Amino acid sequence: MSSVAVTSPEKVEETAPAKINLALHVTGQRSDGYHLLDSLVTFAEDGDELTFAPAEVDSLTLSGRFGSVLALDPAGQDGNLVLRARDLLRSVLDETGQSHAPVAITLDKNLPIASGIGGGSADAAATLRGLMRLWQATLAEDALQAIALKLGADVPMCLASRPLRARGIGEALERIALPSFPIVLVNPMLPVSTPEIFRQLPRKDNPAIGSLPDTAGADDWFAALSALRNDLQPPAEALVPEIAEACDYLRQSLAGFVRMSGSGATCFGLYDSEPAALRAALALSSFRPDWYVLLTHTIAGEPG
Ligand code: C5P
């Protein structure tokens, strides 16, 4: 009888794609203070890049446009989420008798920090996916989702990284059909505190999202999304007026649909063609060279 030796991968790579809330309705509040949401979420093709490799000792190395910002951040929120994800996964693997050798993690931080597009949550989710592969661990999907939720309300959706309708506090997930769109992300480079924006909400019992379009047509989607809201946008604009300015620029650039993502301050425009999105990105970068501007695409989704 022959046996097959199972060897661990040398190095594992994961992308932590930017999360975009196409709509975000706040429909209630739990007794623990967390808000109940009804949100349409999609993901960009671009994001942070992480690698995981076997090592003598654990480490985390930061690089990329926002790596030094993260390293200097006293709270170190996003970086810490990578380490918290690693440590929490380890403790669960300990309970199930699975091994988890020391690991060298690199985080190429391309996404702005505290910016409403996932950032730290996407990094935490990518860490769970990457380490599960590196350590060749086995966990039931709901066990991994539970670890994700302990790390943050947005981490379960980032673990899936596909178009979703998210309810509950963000953990009740349903895959949705959604076409891919050219998208331009704009951030005025002002960090926004999510708890602060939630605190400033005038109402916490807004109507839920109704039925979604059953179409691949961009114009139908733009019309349907325009009838929806991001309930966090008015309080965010009150705190950071540059958010309204960024949305105005995007509207002038002939985007088919413009909104703020999450609790801000990143705003986005969806376009019906690649040249229109490219023109918008170039114009925005030259108007505001001090702002973050990214041209990318959202990924398409299927229900199921
Ligand atoms: O879960 P996470 O740590 O990402 O959330 C950050 C903060 O955002 C929470 O402490 C809470 O104040 C607020 N939040 C909320 N309701 C949600 C998600 C986040 O009130 N559904």
Residue 267's alpha-carbon distances to 30, 103, 117, 254, 293, in angstroms, are 28, 35, 9, 14, 10
Q: What's the gap in Å between 264 CA and the centre of ligand 1?
A: 13
Q: Which residues contact 223 (CB under 8 A, 6 or more apart)?
A: none
Q: What's the gap in Å between 197 CA and the centre of ligand 1?
A: 10
Supply the pLDDT for residue 125. Answer: 98
Whether the model pTM is above 0.90: yes
CATH number assigned to the domain covering 12-174: 3.30.230.10
Report the distance separating Cα 137 and Cα 134, nearest Å.
Answer: 8
Q: What's the gap in Å between 155 CA and the centre of ligand 1?
A: 11
Give the torsion through C-alpha atoms of 34, 39, 44, 50, to 10 deg. 20
More confident residue, 79 or 121: 121
Average pLDDT over residues 229-246: 97
Average pLDDT over residues 110-115: 93
Average pLDDT over residues 121-150: 97
Report the distance separating Cα 199 and Cα 229, nearest Å.
Answer: 18
Task: State the distance between the two ends of the chain, measured CA to CA, in whole angstroms.
Answer: 41
Judge whether residue 170 has pLDDT over 50: yes
From the candidates 38, 48, 154, 231, give the one annotated as an active-site residue.
Answer: 154
Other Cβ atoms less than 10 A from the Cβ of 142: the count is 7
Query: Which residues lie with the beta carbon below 6 Å from any ligand 1 atom?
Result: 34-35, 37, 152-154, 169-170, 194-195, 198
Ligand 1 atom 21 nearest Cα:
169
Judge whether residue 17 has pLDDT over 60: yes
Give the residue extent of every domain in the chain.
Answer: 12-174, 175-297
Asked if the domains 12-174 and 175-297 are classified in one and the same CATH topology, the answer is no
CATH superfamily of 175-297: GHMP kinase, C-terminal domain (3.30.70.890)
Supply the pLDDT for residue 1. Answer: 46
